Chains A and B, each alone.
Chain A
Amino acid sequence: MEVTKDMFEKVPKEERQSLNIMRPSETFLKDSYRRLKKNKLAMAGLYFVIFITIIAIITPWISPYSYSAQDFNLSNVGPTKLHWFGTDQFGRDIFTRVLYGARISLTVGYVVSLLNLTFGVLYGGISGFFGGKVDNIMMRIVDVLYSIPMMIYVILLMLILGAGLPSILIALSLSYWLSMARIVRAEILSLKEQEFVLAAKTLGASNWRIILRHLIPNCMGPIIVTLTLSVPSAIFTESFLSFIGLGISAPKASWGSLASDAMESFMIYPYQLLFPSLAICLTVLAFNFLGDGLRDALDPKMRK
């Protein structure tokens, strides 16, 4: 290399500082999504969840048959071109019924999770933030509720409200928010001594502002994961309850009750059991893959 004298001229401040380049901005969510995208199973789960949700919403407009119309001429037909999943003993199209079942099952999953989100998160947030006596009392209530088996809620609610979607929703909601409240409380307990919370206090922020603006957004990771995993769990429980006859009643059908109906003739018409079961399995698996993927993607320790 040749070094000449003019190379030793001084450079003005602005010019040398232009050498500093900042990295492109990357928000927390963008960064997490990038890591989620790397996880093939989780992405497959995500696409399946989106797909089944859209299908469930638009079912009334796309389904070729009515879910309740009976046609005894067509009872117990195996899968054909006209009836993809075959028909049941009353001649109802199983494909249509599985689609409608998705509506019920997903409704249960989403509604329970939504209530879980609002009530469980707030309850846990308040309990963790105020601590001391408040925390003690609120958490003992949770402990007591935890000790009551869900079956008892369901049966009691059935007696009052009768069998059906409302009682299932209430019963599941009542028992699902408890674990969310516990998770959020534990997170908040460790967050509330952090300096950014103290900083908000010295600025004069109210308790509500601190809980809603600072604490809860900072536990979004565990909240989203718990939520994603509670959807399949709720779907599964609903299916189970319907299967043992405590849930949705005819002519409405959820995946659980479809499977239950198919049990009687399982040996002769196995396809009647196969399709609803497959729907339950795939959906539950998809949500679980997604939840696991989110857990890894949102974990701050995995950030680089």
Chain B
Amino acid sequence: MEKLLQVNDLKTSFFTHVGEVKAVRGVSFYLDKGEALGIVGESGSGKSITMMSIMKLLSDNGKIINGDIYFEGKNLVKADEGEMEKIRGNDISMIFQDPMTSLNPVLKIGDQITEPIIKHKNMNKAEAYKRAAHMLSLVGIPSPEDRMKQYPHEFSGGMRQRVMIAMALSCDPKLLIADEPTTALDVTIQAQILELMKELREKINTSIILITHDLGVVADVCSRINVMYGGLLVETANTDDLFYDSRHPYTWGLLGSVPNPNTLIRERLKPIEGQPPDLLNPPKGCPFAPRCEYTMKICMTDRPPMFEIGENHKAACWLNHKDAPKVSSPFKRGDK
């Protein structure tokens, strides 16, 4: 399959008065056409900053300091603002966590949703309105023509997120980046939105990157998952491998933090102790070493490379070295 997106050794830093905050410290991954990739990690793991780097929407003090981002063969790191404007919303679009603040409250929904269509698709206003109505009905908004005359405050949270998705998809983007699209929503609405995303992927074959901290969400939608921690990629695998044959203690910790839904016995949760690292002074070796149960001497001094585990499966943990003691995941979900 052809790679839609290829990110190589991306490093992004923020320069603040206390020093350089290394938010992304060398991340490489790819995305195939038509694929849904999940990126999982805690807040501060660098998952959102990686996406903002791809979109080149970093705040003023943020800067990509190393790496390449190839989108359909074009290096976005070298693209100027004019080129990025053509790509954003047209080739790559993004939806955000908070549907309440992502829409402009003083503009009608119809005007907001037609704006990118008119800009990128060279349509006139009437055509754009027609397309917008079509998109709104595609995301399950009833009587779209009437709803387009309304203002954002007349929409509920779930409906706004649908509008955001419709807007993001209105120019047939090749890639949709969804940054925690359901975190602010209720479970029932979350289920609706996730169903919608799966449906849309089948219907219009958009590639999706879904960022979340909820493993339940990625298990449902994504075929491949990247786990990020401390500004680094720590494990990447196909969904089943990640859930049933994970090779990184951080992933084990994430899996152990959620209650097992299939048991009637009250088992104690196995959380990851401690706090994520402060990326102002990231640990020298493995970023997870301070919180890891299996920390070895080498973890304190040397950052682990990505060990090849199997097809599409890599993990950055010294436990996968041939000389390391054999530790298996304390966490088994596949076998009941």
Contacts and interface: CB of A to CB of B under 8 A. Distances in A.
A9 B318 CA distance: 11
Given A19-B289, A22-B278, A304-B16, 12 more contacts: A3-B298, A7-B296, A7-B297, A7-B298, A9-B296, A10-B294, A10-B296, A11-B289, A17-B274, A20-B290, A23-B18, A23-B278
Interface of A: 1, 3, 5-11, 15-17, 19-24, 34, 304
Interface residues of B, number: 28
A11 B291 CA distance: 12
B297 A20 contact: no
Given A10-B295, A304-B16, A16 B300 contact: yes
A20 B292 CA distance: 13
B300 A11 contact: yes
A15 B301 CA distance: 12
Contacts, number: 61
A8 B297 contact: yes
Contacts of A6: 297
A4 to B, nearest CB: 8
Contacts of B149: none
Interface in B290-315: 290, 292, 294-302
A145 to B, nearest CB: 34
Nearest to B281: A21
A31 B292 CA distance: 34
Listed from nearest, the 7 A-B pairs whose CB atoms lie closest are: A7-B298, A19-B290, A16-B295, A11-B295, A19-B283, A8-B296, A8-B324
Contacts of A17: 274, 290
A16 to B, nearest CB: 4
A19 B290 CA distance: 6
Nearest to B280: A23
Contacts of B61: 304
Contacts of A1: 302
Contact of A16 (B18, B275, B280, B289): B289
Residue picked from A6, A8, A15, A21, most chain B C-beta under 10 Å: A8
A5 B323 contact: yes
Given A8-B324, A34-B17, A304-B16, A16 B297 contact: no
A132 B325 CA distance: 68
Contacts of A21: 278, 281
A20 B288 CA distance: 11
Nearest to A10: B296
B321 interface: yes
6 contacts: A8-B296, A8-B318, A9-B297, A17-B290, A19-B290, A34-B17
A16 B292 contact: yes
B67 interface: no
Interface string B268-293: 00000011011011010000011010
Contact of A20 (B17, B274, B295, B321): B274
Nearest to A22: B278
A21 to B, nearest CB: 5
Contacts of B297: 6-9, 11
Interface in B135-175: none
Residue picked from B274, B294, B296, most chain A C-beta under 10 Å: B296
A1 B318 CA distance: 14
B275 to A, nearest CB: 7
Nearest to A35: B17
Contacts of A5: 323
A11 B325 CA distance: 13
Contacts of B18: 23-24
Nearest to B305: A1
Contacts of B280: 23
Contacts of B292: 16
Contacts of A23: 18, 278, 280
Interface string B234-257: 000000000000000000000000
Nearest to B287: A19
A20 B274 CA distance: 9
Nearest to B289: A16
Contacts of A16: 289-290, 292, 295, 299-300
Contacts of B17: 34, 304
A53 B299 CA distance: 60
Contacts of B321: 3, 8
A17 B296 CA distance: 13
A36 to B, nearest CB: 13
Residue picked from A9, A17, A19, A34, most chain B C-beta under 10 Å: A19
A272 to B, nearest CB: 48
Nearest to B277: A20
Contacts of B296: 7-11
A304 B19 CA distance: 12
B282 to A, nearest CB: 10
Nearest to A21: B281
Contacts of B295: 10-11, 16
Contacts of A304: 16-17, 61
B320 to A, nearest CB: 11
B145 to A, nearest CB: 37
A34 B18 CA distance: 11
